Chain A
């Protein structure tokens, strides 16, 4: 980048070669920080104090964002598998092989991206899939439940239902926090809640364990995993009572909603919480990432949006609905088309406008059909293009995924890091890591910000967008991208919400996405919840395993807790309440036999003081150990006995 003499920092954030303003790659809050380099390698970070999100702060992960790129096992040369072994080859040969392998298998191919991909990379992956390979088998890890939550909110509040900012959250008088140990998933959101609490806000938490924020809550609603909707419906019923007393004008569909809930008598705590909502000038919802299946996630989100609508807070200025993706640029991945059931820029599965735009921009008919999600794609596609993702580490069924990858006819992997997935590849194309490439990422708030290159990728590795553009060329689509900005310019034409981001000159703090048109609120009868369970329920703890993400796994500072936990529990562990442990007569490490209609397994006990009595949680990192009992469900009734 050309430097102006005498000015150490450009207005667009790039600095004198030793520091660059960028966006944190971890959780999706989008904190701004400077990365520092020494001898061509990242060496440290400093938070940006004037950045509207970070405000001088970073969480433990942000503070170590420089580590993985410098310390990780890096992919530095293109590799081709010959005689069973990956050997270094030149770029031309590797790209040719990759294109050939994918083209031959098309359309029985899959394109799988990641939350580590920039917006530009997500968009090019979608183009490769829907334009060049004629497939709709596009997906990213953790996308399906996030998208389901978005859709559930949108069914009630329209396409822009999930909107609002951290500032709105901080200024709210009432906050409803659903699941999520925020301090470990999205600490920056946690800060806004702490500030709100200091100003006297009332926090209501819903969850199956008493987390840090549950302890600070004015009201904690304990729930059994998979049965959260029961609690939400109770809150809606209470809110409807409140609303009736206030004699407000009925919303569209309100009568049907009431009819569906007639006969449900709210409990006192539900009435209390509903009153808080009704009286608060500003009430916000924070919906954390869930490991529930898509249908349950959809229905839950719909009920929550209904609660907000009935209490007058849906789409009310100052009342935020913050939907938190599991990590990174997942929001960008969804909006830019790394999803099987909608086109880039589409608002739903059958968006004619989006189809028309892409026809124009791509000069060809995009594949409009609905494709397979990530887990199905891995099983069924004979060729896979995988960008910056370790699939067994991220997807719900690691064993099945690993087996499928080993079977794949042609596995093309683009990554910066040597992950287990990369080790299985037929073609490896090394790409740049955080701090080595330019592009944009979209935070959960909808702020599109730059990530900047401070140091060059090692040896022959190249920026991801560039490798994808080259692949696209070899697959028959003409492109003329000379920079990540060029890609973003095209994105703006295909995805109008990104138009402002493409115009931004880099001197500010990113650009907001253009919000979709308000389509009004639509209530309706809600799905009955699953019947209550009498006994213990086993579920996953958390929606993702940070320990398997290269940005954590390769960071000396961040990986310690995760490595230690794996060593401590080589056979996994099942968390259970102290009361349950006592009842069974087990102590830490003693075997506990879990039986469901799907099967049986024995796991070491891990008594915990924060769990509800009938809740059993297996950390998401150890999900393989409990896969048999869970049988593909996110929550399962089980019988337990001393093993």
Chain B
């Protein structure tokens, strides 16, 4: 590794580093909300940053794909229509994202950059610096090791931090990452051999601790892709789903949306809105016919998109980063690991 690609920052020096970042860009980090909740939010001072936290329930996805995203203003001027793209031109730094969410961002980029590229998404993402904090411990519901999305990564981040105890190791993977690291000034020290060793050690320990919380995609993928799942499985599973859409909204790699025009003074604001393939109206046709009228059909479709070999071949990965959010937010019992387990076993058991 080159000298400017890796270094350490002692914990007492973190505050100053973050204050420097704040001077240049909007900084978003995990912050304490009500009663123990943690939310990614724009910070006003370095004191607001959490360094020891459970990954927030809401992923940082809204930074690149807001729940309501204004795209274009449509105005009538002198008898003609004027279109003004809405550009939220702020440079941003996302601090303390976890590996699963960084992998999620990379997956989204792949989807959004593919021709024809989603300009709005790319504008936001290209201005977002990703600083991740690798996980030294498995989180409650996570299974990133099954998705090659953690506990730490080799790429996808601008800067990856690892907590070595009294200092953080920082690894830059891009020019933007190097600049972000350089902002630490004199607080940035060269990484010593023992720092690099410790980082490797921590990663190994974290991996070993994953134990039971795993999601075995392999055999589920084979069954799904060969059409060897009985229809009854989906029907039974769908009785344990309450059609809330949370699995799509909170998933770092889900990106379905609809578009609607909102009336404003003098015109309209065309917006992109989150949507979910689990909602009945998602495939509802103008005629009133719905090709996925039954919830069972929608669950089956979702699993196929995320876990089949066909999509794995196209995308280079499963449609999952093992963040565990669908487990935390499901209004029933049909989170992804539960469905994958059911497909592997051939039956749904509630």
Contacts and interface: CB of A to CB of B under 8 A. Distances in A.
A187 B244 contact: yes
A561 B68 CA distance: 20
Contacts, number: 154
Contact of B41 (A19, A32, A557): A19
A13 interface: yes
A44 B68 CA distance: 6
B242 interface: yes
Interface stretch (B103-111, B143-151, B178-186, B326-334): B326-334
Contact of A47 (B36, B57, B273): B57
Contacts of B328: 49, 56
B44 A49 contact: no
Contacts of A298: none
Interface string A187-199: 1101100110110
Contacts of B333: 194-195, 198
Interface in A59-92: 59-60, 62-63, 66-67, 70-71
B42 A18 contact: yes
Interface stretch (B202-210, B224-232, B279-287, B300-308): B279-287
Given A6-B45, A18-B42, A194-B333, A49 B246 contact: no
Nearest to A31: B331
B41 A15 contact: yes
B330 to A, nearest CB: 7
Given A8-B31, A60-B243, A212-B239, A43 B332 contact: no
A5 B243 CA distance: 41
Contacts of B260: 71, 556
A168 to B, nearest CB: 19
A57 B331 contact: yes
Contacts of A11: 34
A227 interface: no
A627 to B, nearest CB: 24
Of the listed residues A18, A47, A48, A198, the one surrounded by the most CB atoms of chain B closer than 10 A to its CB is: A47
Interface in A10-57: 11, 13, 15-16, 18-19, 21, 32, 34, 36, 38, 43-51, 56-57
A146 interface: no
Contacts of A507: 35
A5 B242 contact: no
A216 B33 contact: no
B339 to A, nearest CB: 15
A46 B31 CA distance: 14
B68 A43 contact: yes
Contacts of B58: 46
B115 interface: no
B240 A194 contact: yes
Nearest to A9: B33
B242 A59 contact: yes
B279 A557 contact: yes
A257 to B, nearest CB: 37
Given A9-B34, A198-B333, A58 B284 contact: no
A567 interface: yes
Contacts of A6: 44-45, 47-48
B242 A508 contact: no
Interface string B35-70: 111010111110110000000011000100011100
Interface in B322-350: 328-333, 350
Contact of A63 (B41, B66, B245): B245
Contacts of B266: none
Given A56-B57, A557-B279, A564 B284 contact: yes
Nearest to A41: B68
B246 A58 contact: yes
Contacts of A18: 41-42
Nearest to A567: B288
A561 B281 contact: yes
A68 to B, nearest CB: 12
A211 B84 CA distance: 48
Contacts of A533: none
B297 interface: no
Contacts of A67: 68, 273
B350 A197 contact: yes
Interface string A550-564: 000000110011001
Given A6-B45, A560-B281, A34 B67 contact: no
Given A36-B67, A60-B243, A557-B279, A9 B45 contact: no
Contact of B35 (A47, A509, A567): A509
Contact of B246 (A43, A47, A565): A47
B243 A46 contact: no
A197 B350 CA distance: 8
B34 A21 contact: yes
Nearest to A565: B288
A218 B160 CA distance: 52
A250 B143 CA distance: 56
A227 to B, nearest CB: 27
A60 B288 CA distance: 20
Interface residues on B, range: 35 or more
Interface string A177-212: 000000100011011001101100000000000001
Given A48-B34, A50-B37, A58-B246, A16 B273 contact: no
Nearest to B325: A56
Contacts of A71: 260, 262
B249 interface: yes
B332 A194 contact: yes
Interface in A272-313: none
B329 A57 contact: yes
A46 B66 contact: no
A43 B67 CA distance: 7
Nearest to B282: A560
B242 A190 contact: yes
A214 to B, nearest CB: 10
A373 B336 CA distance: 49
B85 to A, nearest CB: 15
A564 B273 contact: no
Contact of A13 (B34, B41, B57, B67): B34
A51 B333 CA distance: 19
Contact of A56 (B43, B329, B332): B329
Contacts of A197: 350
A189 B288 CA distance: 30
A459 B330 CA distance: 38
A264 interface: no
B258 interface: yes
Given A556-B260, A557-B273, A60 B244 contact: yes
B262 A57 contact: no
Contacts of A567: 288
A43 B66 contact: yes
Contacts of A194: 240, 242, 332-333, 350
Nearest to A62: B244
B258 A556 contact: yes
Contact of A5 (B31, B39, B44, B332): B44
Contacts of A5: 44-45
Contacts of B258: 556-557
Contacts of B36: 49-50
Given A9-B33, A57-B244, 14 more contacts: A6-B44, A8-B31, A11-B34, A19-B33, A34-B39, A44-B62, A47-B246, A49-B37, A50-B36, A50-B37, A57-B331, A63-B244, A71-B260, A190-B331
- Rank and list the top 4 A-B pairs by shortest CB-CB distance, nearest first: A44-B67, A560-B281, A568-B288, A50-B36
23 contacts: A8-B33, A15-B41, A32-B34, A34-B33, A36-B62, A45-B67, A48-B37, A50-B35, A57-B244, A57-B329, A58-B329, A62-B244, A63-B244, A63-B246, A183-B243, A187-B243, A190-B332, A194-B350, A212-B239, A507-B35, A557-B258, A557-B275, A564-B281
Interface of A: 5-9, 11, 13, 15-16, 18-19, 21, 32, 34, 36, 38, 43-51, 56-60, 62-63, 66-67, 70-71, 183, 187-188, 190-191, 194-195, 197-198, 212, 215-216, 507-509, 556-557, 560-561, 564-565, 567-568
